[in-house]
């Protein structure tokens, strides 16, 4: 696409993120971008998702369903209702085959409107996150007994939460879907929706989501645990970057 036009559109939306710094785009000719035609629509959706998280609250937003998102958007002017074409764009992103973005993982959520049953989940104190009671929570509780100084950085993500993360990543990469997909599973394909979770080292903040986590003693102890595996190892077949912080549960 015409990158100058693209930047022009993005240039008008810098208020979306205060002090936002775009990630290095590493442009390749084969990469797939949000089309020029869909760009204003996409930017509008990103804005609505970010506002929705603010209105609904970080913790509740992690498990919110698509229908509930639409309900809040209709009823809160700070978000604003999603238009028919915005919903159609989201549906396209959810149901299309992400192989074209070099993502080869399995679909984890069948329908865009699938909900998370509250009976099966539990809030994890002091983390702002939820885990599935039956499998993930038990494993997490054992992990924090066995390894000092670690905590849950990301638990359950509904399709809406995953969409918010993916779309913001695409935005940070100036519309480059292929590059964004290297560091985040597409909507409908996140194992966070069915049980996987991320852990980090206490006090490490955003650094927990970098390859450096793999050099910590905490990580070394985790890899010695018989009951845990790392989902996205170096050069994994799914096409996701090395993520030493992402625990494979399902």
- Judged by CB under 5 A, the stretch of 71-79, 137-145, 163-171, 197-205 that binds Zn ion is 197-205
Give SS3 for 60: helix
Q: Which two three-digit tokens encode residue 74?
A: 């209709």
- CA–CA distance, 157 with 204 (Å, rounded to integer): 22
- Judged by CB under 5 A, the stretch of 57-65, 70-78, 131-139, 192-200 that binds Zn ion is 192-200
What's the chain's Rg over C-alpha atoms? 18
Query: Which DSSP letter does residue 136 get?
Result: I
Assess 240 for contact with Zn ion (CB under 5 A): no
Q: How far apart are the first and last CA of the chain?
A: 39
For the chain, counts of helices (H) and of strands (E): 9, 6
Which of 51/190 has CB closer to Zn ion? Answer: 190
Q: How many residues bind Zn ion (CB under 5 A)?
A: 2
Contacts of 17 (CB under 8 A, 6+ apart): none
Q: CB 250 → Zn ion: shortest distance, Å?
A: 12
Is the CA virtual torsion 211, 232, 235, 223 positive or negative? positive
Q: CB 232 → Zn ion: shortest distance, Å?
A: 8
Selected binder of Zn ion within 79, 189, 246, 249 (CB under 5 A) = 246
Which of 198/218 has CB closer to Zn ion? Answer: 198
Helices 39-56 and 66-75: crossing angle, nearest 10°?
90
Which of 9/139 has CB closer to Zn ion? Answer: 139
Selected binder of Zn ion within 31, 86, 198, 218 (CB under 5 A) = 198
For binding to Zn ion (CB under 5 A), which residues are involved? 198, 246
């Amino acid at each position: 696409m015409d990158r100058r036009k693209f930047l022009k559109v993005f240039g008008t939306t810098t208020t979306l993120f205060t002090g936002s710094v775009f990630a290095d785009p590493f442009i390749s000719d084969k990469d797939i971008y949000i089309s020029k035609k869909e760009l204003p629509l996409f930017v509008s959706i990103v804005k609505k998702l970010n506002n929705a998280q603010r209105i609904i609250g970080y913790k509740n937003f992690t498990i919110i369903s698509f229908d509930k998102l639409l309900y809040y958007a209709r009823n809160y002017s700070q978000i604003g209702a999603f238009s028919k074409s915005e919903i159609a764009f989201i549906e396209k992103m959810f149901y299309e085959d992400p192989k074209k973005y070099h993502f080869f993982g399995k679909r984890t959520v069948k329908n865009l409107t699938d909900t998370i049953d509250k009976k099966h989940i539990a809030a994890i104190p002091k983390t702002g996150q939820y885990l599935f009671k039956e499998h993930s929570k038990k494993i997490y509780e054992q992990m924090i007994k066995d390894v000092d100084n670690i905590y849950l950085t990301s638990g359950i993500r509904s399709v809406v939460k995953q969409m918010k993360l993916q779309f913001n990543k695409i935005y940070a990469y100036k519309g480059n879907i292929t590059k964004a997909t290297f560091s985040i599973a597409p909507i409908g394909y996140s194992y966070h929706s069915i049980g996987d979770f991320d852990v980090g080292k206490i006090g490490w903040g955003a650094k927990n989501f970098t390859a450096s986590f793999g050099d910590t003693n905490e990580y070394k102890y985790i890899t010695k645990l018989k009951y845990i595996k790392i989902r996205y190892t170096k050069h994994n077949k799914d096409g996701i970057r090395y993520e030493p912080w992402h625990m494979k549960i399902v």
